[in-house]
Every structure is written in C-alpha cells, then in structure tokens.
Structure 1
Amino acid sequence: MPDGGGLQAVEASQRPDSQVRVFAMPPREHAGPVSIVDGFLEALTSDDPQYTMARKYLTAKAARSWHPEARTTVLKDGPSPDPANGPSAGDEGRTFRLNGSQVALVDQEQAYRPESGAYSKTLHLVQEDGPKGKQWRIDGLPQGVVLGQSDFQRIYQSVDKYYYALDEETPGGGSATNASTSTSTGTSTGTGSGVSGRQKRLVADPVYVRQWIDPLTQTVRALLDGPTRWLDPAVTTAFPTGTGLRKDVKSLAPDDDNNLKVPLNAKADHVGQARCKEMAAQLLFSLQDVTSANVSQIELQRSNGSQLCVLSESGAEGLVAQRTSGPSDDQYFLDGKGRLVRMSGASRTTKEPERVPGPLGDGEQRMRSVAVSRDETQAAAVSSNGSELFVGSFVSGASLGDPVAKSEAKSENDRLTTPSWDGLGDLWVADRDPKNPRLLMLGRGLAGKVHEVEVSDLGGARIDAVKVSADGVRIALIVEDKGRTTLRIGRIERDVSADGRMTVTVPQLSAAAPQMEEVTAMSWAGPSRLVVVGRESGGVRQLSYVQCDGSVPTGQALPGLTGVKEIAASEDDRLPLVAHSDDGIVRLPPGLPWQTVLKEGTAPVYPG
C-alpha cells in the first residue's frame, strides 16, 4: 500500500463484467462410451464457431450429416444422458438416451419459441477404426444442438433486427417480403422501398445470435435472410429478394471511425439512393443491440466494391419514426378526484402533478382508466362503471361529447378494458361482456369507424387487457381462460380491399410469459420487451421483464413492490416505470428506489 501522495479522481469503467467462456476439449484416446457422450455434450456448450471440436466425437459420416444450426433445443437443467437397457440383437454399439424438460426451441431462423414438455432423444455409438486402433464415436444423433437454460443464456444474446411495417393503405395487403421487392429503382409498392414523404415505422423482430461468435456478422446475415415466419405477413424489407453478403465476405467489422462497410451481392447492384438508404437504416437500427458493434455509419457496396450509398445515425433517425411514445416525457394518471393529470418523466425528483386542459382534466365525468394519444393532443377514457368509452381533446373549454363505444355487460368487471393507442392513431379496447366479447379498433380515434377485430386462437378465452405496440403491428393481450390469466402477443394485419373497406385481424397468438401462471398487468417497455406483473407457479406476485418472443432477458431484475395493480413503461428505457400500488402512484427512476408520487391516484400511463 502507498504511504504517501495525493488523491486523484479516475473515471469508473462502464464495461460489463467479463463472462465465462468454455473451450471444448478433444476426445481422449480409447475413451469409453460414457466419456465420449459427456465430452460431446460439453463441447456443445463451447464457443467453437463451427463446432469443430464437437465433430471430433462423431464418426466421419455423422460429422458430415450433422447440422448444428438446424435448431437449438433449450432444456431446463440440461440433457441427462442415461445408458439404454442393453444393445439390440446384433448391435455391438451402445445407445444413450438424452432426457430433460424442454422449455424452448430456437429454430433455423434463430427465432425463440417457448415449447414445454418432456425431451427424449437417443445417441448411438460405435467403435470406429482409427490410426491408434478402435475408438468409440457417435454415429447417430438428433440434428441441432441441445443445451441447458443457463448455458443458453450464457452463449446466446437476443438482438432485434428491424423491418418496415406494411402500409395499411396498400390495397389487398399481401406478402410482406414480396411487397417491397418488385423493382430495383426505389419505387416499389411496399412501404419498405418507395420514396415517401412521411417517416417509416420500423418493427423489431427478435432473434438469438451466439454472442462470442461474431455477433455483428450473424445479425447482418439474419437481417438479410428476411423476417421470421411469424412476423413476415405484417412487415416488409427494403432489400431486394435474394440480397446477401458478397460470396467472399466471411466477417464484417467497423473501422476506427465506426464506419461499417457491407459488400452486397449483385441482387442489390441497381437500387436507387432512396431505397439504399432505407436498407442502410435497417442495418443501423439492427446493430444497436450488438454491444461489440459500435457502428455509427453504414456504407453499402455493390458486388464490384463500388459505393452504393452511405447513411449515418442522424440520417437514419430522420428517415425512420423514432419517437413513437409522444413528443414529451410526460407521465399521466388519474388523481383522487378522477381528473387526468400529468408530470414530467425526465425529472429524477417528484413534483406536484398538473391537470391537463380539456374535459378529462376538468373532471367533467369521473373515469376509471385512460389512454393518452401518442401525439398527446387527446385521450381516451372509460367511465367509472366501465360501460362507456369517451375521447376528449386537450383543449380548454372543449366538451367530452358522446361515447364512441359501449358495453352492455351486466357486471362492471365484465365491461370495457383500459384502452390503448397505436402509433398510427388507431384506438383499441376490448369488451369483456360474456355474451358478446369483442376486440374493437376505432380507426384514427374519434373520427374513424369502429372495426370489430377477429382474434384467432382464443377458443373460449376472454381478453382482460390490451396494449398495442407503437409500431401498430403487435398487440399484447392478457387472456383469461378457466380462471388462469396469461400474456399473449398477436400480430395485427390490416387488409384494405379494392373498394376501400378495411378488415383488421389478429390471426396468430403466441405465449410471451409461459413461465407465469398468472399475469395481472403489463406494458410495452421497448421495441420487443414488456414489463409484467405476474406470478410463477408456487411463487409470489412480482415485477419482471419479458421478451415478446417468450424469452426472459438476463440481468434485468426489478426491485419488489407490494400490491401492484397497474404498471406503465415508456419505450425509452431512460424514463422511469410508473405503477399504481398499495402506496398510490409510484415510480422507479433509473438507479433509484421506488418513489411515491401521489397517495391517491390510479391508472398510470405513458402516451399510447
């Protein structure tokens, strides 16, 4: 220890702690069958790019036919290899059965899909002649990779690749991918390629990449491969069909100025400047989650190496609608008298909330839930008994007017849910009437028509809560079925016929929090993340983050809060969570504990 000298301030490192990496070992000479199986399973958890070491445990034929990229099966506690009872007649090999409890599957598109159930597959071993005599090797195995949940979380990271939302004005809808690839001049019919006067909406499509194996190049390739099957009908891409990296490109890396050059194949050689920049914007936003990327500018290149276009971060932000949650950082809620009030979300200290102008701030009629439009010019509110939905403007002296939707349910608990606005200006609400359960969309709020939305995969279940993402493409639903409430994510498809009539459907629901047996509140908290209030089997009710694909992000624990009834989050993670709890309206600024805002208050919301 030094015994003299002065003190000097140093800048604290913000780098995350280094994670454990696993390096596979080759099989030992004359290792027995048990050792070969254990060594192979261990090699699957390594950071070996092509699983070269894992293939050394296979026979030459099996090594050629095994495709680890086909799928990744995630088990709760990892595979447990058990020797079979005995070899079959005439079989001199050995058979092992891999058992476990499956929780998810990552498919060839790198998309995560929750799948629960028992897992049981076999490995077959034979003795293969080698330079040093016979060696036990695996000659029969399932395609893909099998991992325990902890190993999966260590090896893989979730990244959002981005595609453009299909324009609901396009007659007939159609295939998302094909809608934007009919020309090479930047004037095709899809929203992902034409020259348009308004900013475009990007939709996050989460996939998993191996975080130690060139995640930047993996993310670029995944984006060029197109959207996942689940999201594909609702989005489009600016990249022409068949676009990929030039054949000789093995890896990509930014230069010292954080400029990333991306050489494309000949499919993109003749795109126009407007379309090229939309392609580059997709890449820039998709690389934001790759912590090792640090890319601030994209340069797309033709197949001959010449420059196609250049786009910086500021240029991408001007092209794509970024602030979809609202023009301000304000949080809104109802005070003890049922009046709509707001306060700044950017402040790290609590200040007295102020009433909004207009009928909802005046308390002309007491409300029980509210949703503020994303442009913060109006709000939708449900009456205190839940039977009527009103839309009121933020203009002093304006009247509330007639309700825009009604529920005829006898019980107050069976009437209208809290409404939700999407980034297009459409207003959504569910009617929980047991005799006539409905999901409603009011086109552009007050001025539009009421569309009854068909929701597939509901069966006899009822929608208890609705929250639409800012992009207007995905909808989060709390669904009640036989006393159990679960979180589902649906894809929104808008189809406009030739005569101008719109049909809105939610054709496919997926589980977003399968580990929870009860979900009581939720809110979007980012492009592909939600914050939920729920309880796992045998556990207590708590706050947690979940991904919209059903996976659970690591290292994002939330401090406990008792009696949470409602939760609100901004898509800007720098803004605090806001909740209605036993302590009234509370909020959680980044890096600080929960703070009480108002003892008497309900229905906290951000715009949307």
Structure 2
Amino acid sequence: MRHPRTTSATGMPRRATARPVGLLTALLILCLLLPACTAIPTDGPVGVISASDGETGGVAAVFDPRGPAVDASPARILVDFITAGTGTSDGYSVARQYLTPELQDTWTPEERIVLFRSDPRVEAREAEGAYQIQLETTGIIDAAGVRTNSVVPATETMDVRLVQVDGQWRIDEIPDGIMLAQSSARDILLSHNLYFYSSTYRYWVPDARWFVRRTGVTARVVGAMLAGPVPYLQGSVTSAFPEGVNLARDSVPITSGTATVELSSQVLENATNLSLQQMNQQLQVNLLGLNDVTSVEMTTDQPIELGPPSPDLVVPELSPDVGGEQVAVSGDELVSVRNGQATPIEGLPSVAELGPRDPAASVSGSAYAFVDAARKALYVAAPGSEARRIAVGTALTQPSFDTENWVWSARSVGGRSEVLAVPPGGAERDAAVLTASWLGDQKVLDLRVSRDGARALVVTDRGGAAEVVLSGITRSPEGVPQTLASPLSIPTAVDVDTAKWAGQSTIVASAIGATATVEPVVLHLDGEQEMMATLDGVLGISAGADAEEMFYAQAGDTLYRRIGNSWVDEHIDVVDPAFPG
C-alpha cells in the first residue's frame, strides 16, 4: 500500500484556503536564423441601485459607449461610468467625460482593474454628492498586469464624490482604475506571458501578465518586460537589458510583421555583440505572435547592429521536453511506464529491500530518486550502480530533480519544514538547506522544481488549511541553490494536497483521499482555472508537458489518463507515477 498522506477523520483531504507553445518555439528559432449586457439598473430611487439575484455578469463590454446623458442622476452617472470603462479607444475618452475637468487630466484608468460579478450596487451617503460603489470582486489586476484572484468572491467598497459642473453631475473623486465584469474580461483583456532568462540562460521563464486590448499593447508589453519580473521571480531570473533602459517613445510600429523597438541610449552602454543578441532574442520571444509580429528590429537613433553571431549565444528552450516516459513503483521495484506498459528499468539494481515510494527521474533519464516507505530516508539510484542514501529526516516529500540534477525534498524539523537540495554525486553533508522565512510554521506537503530550474511549486499546510504557492529559486554564481523568494499564492476553488507542473505555465492540483471523490483542477499562471471530471479514490497525480494529453491520476493500484473531460483506465498496475523533473 502507498504510504498515505494526512487526511481528516472522514477520509477527506484538508481544505485549501498558457497553452501549447510549439508554434512559438518554431517561429523563434526561425527568426533567430534570419538576418536581421446585461444592463445595470438605472431607474428607480437615486439612493440605491441593488445588486441583481444570481450572477448576471454585471456590465457587459461596450466598445463604443455613450457619454453622460443630459440631467442624469448621480447614480446613473456612476453606473454609466463603469460601462464606459469598457471603451478603451482614444485613451478612454468617453469614460473621461463622466469626470470633472480637473480629474480628467489625472485619472489613470489602467492603474488598477477590478474584476467583479453580479451587478454593482451604488449607495448614497449622507453628504451631498457622496456615494459608495459596492462590488463583489473575483480578482484584481495591478498596474504591472499581475492578476490576483480571490478564492471566493470578496467585497470591495469605493468611496466617490460627485459635483455639479454647468448643472450636470460629474465625478470629482474616485480611485484610479476601471471596473470590468468577469464575464466581459476576455473581451477587454489579453493574457500574455512575458519571458525572462533563467540564471543559466538556457531556458525561458514565463511571467504571466494581463493587458488591455487596445492600440499600443505591443509597447506596453515591451515596457513591462523592461521594468522587470514580478516580485516572486526577482533574483531567480534575469533580463538581457541593463537596468534603466526604457522605450524612447510610447509606441512600437509594426511594418510588414517587423516590430521596430526604439530604446533609450543606455542600451548601448557597455554592450557587446553577445549582450545585444541576447536582448534581441528576448524581444523576439516576448513579441512573436503578438499583433502578427514575425521579427524584431532594435533601434536607438538608428538601427542597432547586432554583429556577427556570438559563439556563446544560446537559444533558450521555451518548453523543455520531458518525453512520454514515467517512473513508478511496481512490486517494490522502480519501473518505466510508457505506451500503456510498465517495464523494468534496464541496468537498475533491485531496490525492493528499501521499500521505494514516490520516485523521481532526472530529465536526462540517467538518475532516479525516491524515499522509503516511512519517508525517513532519501535515496538516489542509477543504472549500473546500487542505490545510495543521500539524506534522512521526517516526513520527506517526493524528490524532484532540477535542470542541474540537484535532488530536492522537504522534511520536518522541530515541527517546521525545511527545504534541502543535494548536488549530483553529493550526500547530506553537501546539501544546500534553503532559506525560506515565509514558510514559518507551515508544513510542506509537496515540492516540485519547474523544468526551467527557476521556480519551486510548493503545497503547504498550516493548521489544516492547504495552499498552493510559487517561489523563485535564487542561486549563487556557481549555481548553488540559496533561497526561496517570497511566494506568489495561487488560490484554488477546491481542496488540494498535491500539485505538479504540466508544462511551463500550467499546474495541475488535486486532493488525495482513498475513499473520497476528487475533482482535480488545472491552474494557469494567468489566474484562469478549469475543473476536471471527478474521480474516486485518487492517491496521486503526474503530469508531463501539458494537462491535456499527459496528465494521469493514480486511483487504487492503477493509472487513469485524462482524455478531454473523461478518465480512461490504462490498466497499469503501478503506484506513485512521475514524469521527469
């Protein structure tokens, strides 16, 4: 039997508090080889506009909204202003008509985007012209395009003030930003990954952002990239562009598919052919496919010459290939699972006496790691050599290999968890124990290093409440793991005990329960989620390069493969499957 994870007395697990890229990869390599409404109520009393019953979606997208109606009441002005915020053309010129002349000049519409469901509620306060807008929010997008979702809808209240201008009510005070109904968000917003280099320059690391679909989005994508990564990735990824470089103008013209990016003169300070070519690569991967961009040209006052190809230039992997082979346990031995069959691993000595559980495989397929049944010892093994113990502890988590073949796991020490990484060929005395002050008294249930080596996917538990988080991995110049950065929380709508990478921008997560009916979930880094079909008795999950064709769940002593929104029994008698990584 598989060593069980902790569940409640009822057998139920604890309560938890991007897409295919093959074409983009092909385009990138090719370019590197080339030279160069539901309506909001507006009638009735001025004092209150009530929220509707159920989820109507609130304000529908109106791409050509109307300006203020003559003699409109303050409440009507406010709800029509929310609708006008969906009209992004000409710098939100229609929405600005609802503001006083002074506020028109200072209001910043994309400083903060509030996503909401149901109809907004507008309520009058005691002072003349004082109102509140009350929203049932589902998420917030900040000025950098970073989206934060709520586990359950939250409530936000905005205090606003209106005054009369030439006998007409206009908004004189309101927080910067616009308000969008969740049902209309996809019509107004664009999800787009920024990309930064991993510390080794061998992989692209995605940084999910949201941008308003309007003229100038290409320039805003470049500007966001130049401003740097989100906080949880700072220190774990790098940009080829020197700090302080920005766009020399607020537009990026696109002519016959070529985006001309005019940069400030700092881009040439201390620049080498290699650094310029790395900058060009980074621009290409960030812009290819956006607004039909097929190539990129960097300029200052004139086109920047990249020079002859540098022998040190590496084309990073956009989506590391982990293949279709898994490692699993069958009859207390490690086996290979591929094409619906489990077979012995050629040349690997027996490990049955160690009671292997939760194995992992390196991406190269030359090394394996596992814990024993008591989760008190961590081993590595390879074809042609006996298994070797490399660490001991309590409640060791399933090991994970990074891109440099360091073996990662977490263990319990004095009631808290610590994360350790053991170098290739090393032992516990050589392990790096990573600083992660944010863990506090949380217990690590699952830990997976991303296949670019820059991020750790962690499932934690604090007092029975589980959470999925992402943390950037910082390393020394020699590549030694040092710290886990302050994390980004990924809210989930269902119970979660385990989570795995399914590609670079997608995570699959699930509860664990031998007697429970489980509903796994796909978590996209841009904040979108999708539920899978339910499955009884899930004991573990595994994922390869995507969540569609390469996602498996262990239920009992067999594997189920996800096909669309269904599960197909593969009739493979194995436990603890895992794709490389």
Report the TM-score, using the length of structure 1 for normalisation: 0.76
Match of 2:554 in 1: 580
Structure with more contact order per residue of length (Cα contacts < 8 Å, sep ≥ 6): 2
State which of 327, 331, 341 in structure 2 corresponds to 1:332.
327
The separation in 2 between residues aligned to 1:317 and 1:558, in whole angstroms, is: 41
Q: Is the 8 A contact 1:355 1:362 kept in 2?
A: no
Match of 2:253 in 1: 252
The separation in 1 between residues aligned to 2:109 and 2:542, in whole angstroms, is: 41
Match of 1:146 in 2: 179
The separation in 2 between residues aligned to 1:381 and 1:488, in whole angstroms, is: 23
Match of 2:489 in 1: 511
The separation in 1 between residues aligned to 2:499 and 2:102, in whole angstroms, is: 50
Cα deviation code 1:462-500 (max 9, x no counterpart): 11111111222221111111112221222222346xxx8
Match of 1:166 in 2: 199
Cα deviation code 1:217-250 (max 9, x no counterpart): 3322221222223322322211123323332x52
Q: Is the 8 A contact 1:494 1:503 kept in 2?
A: yes
Per mean C-alpha deviation after superposition, the further-off stretch among 264-273 and 47-56 is: 264-273
Cα deviation code 1:427-460 (max 9, x no counterpart): 1111135546322111236468112222222232
The separation in 2 between residues aligned to 1:383 and 1:542, in whole angstroms, is: 28
Match of 2:316 in 1: 320
The separation in 1 between residues aligned to 2:183 and 2:349, in whole angstroms, is: 49
Q: Is the 8 A contact 1:522 1:566 kept in 2?
A: no
State which of 413, 418, 422 in structure 2 corresponds to 1:442.
422
Task: Confirm or deny that 1:223 pairs with 2:225.
Answer: yes
CA apart distance, 1:40 = 0.1
Task: Confirm or deny that 1:284 pairs with 2:254.
Answer: no
The separation in 2 between residues aligned to 1:57 and 1:446, in whole angstroms, is: 66
| Alpha carbons of structure 1 residues 310 and 230: separation in structure 2 relative to 1, 3 Å | farther
The separation in 2 between residues aligned to 1:574 and 1:427, in whole angstroms, is: 27
State which of 279, 299, 303 in structure 1 corresponds to 2:300.
303
The separation in 1 between residues aligned to 2:548 and 2:285, in whole angstroms, is: 18
The separation in 1 between residues aligned to 2:119 and 2:215, in whole angstroms, is: 22
Cα deviation code 1:307-327 (max 9, x no counterpart): 434999xx999521346354x
The separation in 1 between residues aligned to 2:294 and 2:248, in whole angstroms, is: 22
Q: Is the 8 A contact 1:358 1:399 kept in 2?
A: no
- One-letter amino acid of the structure 2 residue matched with residue 253 of structure 1: I
Q: Is the 8 A contact 1:334 1:603 kept in 2?
A: yes
Does the residue aligned with 1:62 lie in a helix, a strand or coil?
helix
- One-letter amino acid of the structure 1 residue matched with residue 123 of structure 2: D
- One-letter amino acid of the structure 1 residue matched with residue 482 of structure 2: V
Match of 2:521 in 1: 544
**Aligned pairs for 1:152-551 within 5 A:** 152-166=185-199, 200-247=202-249, 250-253=251-254, 255=256, 258-269=257-268, 271-287=271-287, 292-300=290-298, 302-309=299-306, 319-322=315-318, 324-326=320-322, 328-335=323-330, 337-344=331-338, 350-359=339-348, 363=352, 365-393=354-382, 395=383, 397-401=384-388, 403-407=389-393, 409=394, 415-432=395-412, 435=415, 437-444=417-424, 446=426, 449-495=430-476, 504-516=482-494, 518-534=495-511, 541-548=518-525, 551=527
CA apart distance, 1:153 = 4.2
Cα deviation code 1:55-81 (max 9, x no counterpart): 011110111121112222333546422
Does the residue aligned with 1:508 lie in a helix, a strand or coil?
coil
Does the residue aligned with 1:42 lie in a helix, a strand or coil?
helix
Does the residue aligned with 1:51 lie in a helix, a strand or coil?
helix
Cα deviation code 1:359-390 (max 9, x no counterpart): 36774643111111121110101112222111
State which of 74, 87, 108 in structure 2 corresponds to 1:46.
87
CA apart distance, 1:505 = 1.8
Q: Runs of 5+ in structure 1 lacking a partner?
A: 1-18, 88-92, 168-198, 345-349, 410-414
The separation in 1 between residues aligned to 2:418 and 2:449, in whole angstroms, is: 16
Report the TM-score, using the length of structure 2 for normalisation: 0.80
Q: Is the 8 A contact 1:427 1:442 kept in 2?
A: yes
Does the residue aligned with 2:105 lie in a helix, a strand or coil?
helix
CA apart distance, 1:509 = 2.3
| Alpha carbons of structure 1 residues 576 and 156: separation in structure 2 relative to 1, 3 Å | same
Task: Confirm or deny that 1:596 pairs with 2:569.
Answer: yes
Task: Confirm or deny that 1:120 pairs with 2:96.
Answer: no
| Alpha carbons of structure 1 residues 306 and 153: separation in structure 2 relative to 1, 3 Å | closer
Does the residue aligned with 2:277 lie in a helix, a strand or coil?
helix
Per mean C-alpha deviation after superposition, the further-off stretch among 521-530 and 563-572 is: 563-572
Give me the identity figure in percent: 23
Q: Runs of 5+ in structure 2 lacking a partner?
A: 1-59
- One-letter amino acid of the structure 2 residue matched with residue 32 of structure 1: S
Aligned-CA RMSD value: 3.2
Count of residues in Structure 1 that have an aligned counterpart in Structure 2:
514
**Aligned pairs for 1:36-75 within 5 A:** 36-48=77-89, 50-75=91-116
